[in-house]
Structure 1
Amino acid sequence: MKILVTGGAGFIGSAVIRHIIRNTADSVVNLDKLTYAGNLESLAEISDSERYAFEHVDICNRAELDRVFRKHQPDAVMHLAAESHVDRSIDGPSAFIETNIVGTYCLLEASRQYWLGLDETRKAAFRFHHISTDEVYGDLEGPEDLFTETTSYAPSSPYSASKASSDHLVRAWRRTYGMPTLITNCSNNYGPYHFPEKLIPLIILNALEGKPLPIYGKGDQVRDWLYVEDHARALYKVVTEGEVGETYNIGGHNEKQNIEVVHTLCELLDEFRPVSSNAKICGSDAPVANQAAGLAMSSYKDLITHVQDRPGHDLRYAIDASKIQRELGWTPEETFESGIRKTVEWYLNNPDWVAHVKSGAYQQWLDKNYSARTTA
């Protein structure tokens, strides 16, 4: 197969592409606008493959989408291109409406026109796989409740509302036009190559630099954590084996409070790189303030700072992933304990990737989002 992956330079998209090139005989066309979170360095290990091609295209550009379909003639689309950070959506929702809703519409129409022109064999085999989030469901009330594929939508943020809208578009194109679509909704991903605005990489990198570890409110928000390479395996299984018209929830079976996650990260960093050996905090080249902080610290946990919660913050997400296990035979290979250890080790072992991704624009956004919040 030849698979068109939108957003393939992003965190999950790059994991999908690496999985396909490493583990299958399929070809991939990576279509990405390369916004702040898109990073082709995440694909360096497979970029020379003759089965990989890159197209620098915005999914809102219909003419360019048509050109890409004509040129590459894909057998399937895996749609991951999206604005995906809740805090950014609160600060500036416009980009989320444009990319997640208008962009998905443009891609659906380009895909539909292309699909209608295929011969009957290829037309029957074509798939449009839309990758979404569990945040479209809102949050859960009871401690035993789980999101299923039939849970009603109740998005809480501009981000989740835009993703819910895109899900509805995909289902409408299936029902109205007969498009061969599939949808997956996943829980929180983590792992290597994660842009450091999200909780886990943000905590790791702030800790290593001796910066405060900002925790919204009490840190009692619960998320189900899914290792990104497990997610990539699931997504490939859905696009190749899933039943057209179906939705599959993908979760890691790892519910943790945010504060638990932060404590685990600090404990792993205490193990791998103790404060006393961290030159950025207490070495001779570290700022004087950091040297003083390093002498007073016994653990990275000392950097934890509780800040004002964000508006509309959902308290608990948890996925029922029994359908994909039952029907497609997928289960996660990583526990949270094994996956989070691999993640911390990866960030410690890849300082060049980290240095390149932390641009001035990223730093400015971090300052804007966190510095204005009062301590809780």
Structure 2
Amino acid sequence: MNGMAHEGHDHGDAAETSTESAAAFDPTAPTNKFQANGKTYRWEHRADLGKQSEDMFNAAKGGLHNNADRDLLTGEIVTVVAKHGLVTLDPKLKEWTLVDDQDAVFSGGMNAHGTDCFVLDGESHWAFASTNTQQVFVTKRGKVLATLSQPKGDEFDNPTVNEYFQAGGRFTPCDVVFLPEAKRLVVVIGYAPGDFALSAELVDGQWQWGGPAWGGREGNGGMLNTGHGVQIATEGGREIVEIASRSHGRIFSFTPNGAQIRTPGADKDYFIQLPKGSNPCNLFNVGDNMFLPLLNSLPKTNGSAPVLVLENGKPAGALVPATYDTLNLMQHMHGFCPVEIDGKLFGIVLSWRNGGENANGKPNDGQIAIFEAVEE
């Protein structure tokens, strides 16, 4: 597999996939395989990895409406389990542990719907977008450095966005990402009628709202329809902000200043249109592959949600965790964190629990599972 595509991933030149190979491979069927660089990989569940304490396991069953990311300096995987706390998975993916001396906000029920680990001035920072507390936290290993809450409506370069917040528009941060070159954060608020991407800047050592803001809801002057996940990539040396727009299954790309550009891999449109029924919660890139945890099933995934895999913008496979022994309750995918270790690709998958379905006789739990991509 190619190098990790986080913080400066370069799409590079699109690799060619043979017509014969593509025709013989159904990318949306629950084969638990995917294609990359002309090779086929199968997903193997690694039950020996990701050991959890009983307390963490039980808390996760109540719902994992969150995502995880990898610390670029330590190699740890970072996430928050609601009503349990901030946890990390060691660089060898062996065991989850609670972070020592973490601020109380993490065990108090906050929902780390979006997570981003980044390096600033040589130090690791962890940022979290919390939908239920309606805040964005910037931290150093569990110590909160800054809290970004409801904007007042005089901070951004976009008058439409300012007017939205001046009128008391809803602020529900779904995801956050740091732009290393632009030196600012981008936050998407897809659970709000505004459906905007907002910027936060570091001014005199303090994070505050300000700078570019863009997007808007489809049918109301914008193109997003639940901007749910945001990721940074690079192409030709420039940063690209990629947004997963969940409700209509599209991947959009923008400059750091909010100008829409063609998403790498897109065809006639400027965006990537995912297969019908796709509702991506987040997105991560590895080489020419994009990994998209979907909230609900596709027509060929037997009623269970997959992690959809694209290659150069085209469907190239799927992982359906619920088809594996002991994982049948992982019905809705919310997070996927790819990790490369010693040339091998692993995927940490986080599933979301739908309490309404449980009450109606279709049980499912929020869980975390680790898979390894093995070449066939």
Higher helix share: 1
Which has more radius of gyration? 1
TM-score (norm. length: structure 1): 0.26
- TM-score, scaled to structure 2: 0.26
The structure that is strand-richer by fraction is: 2
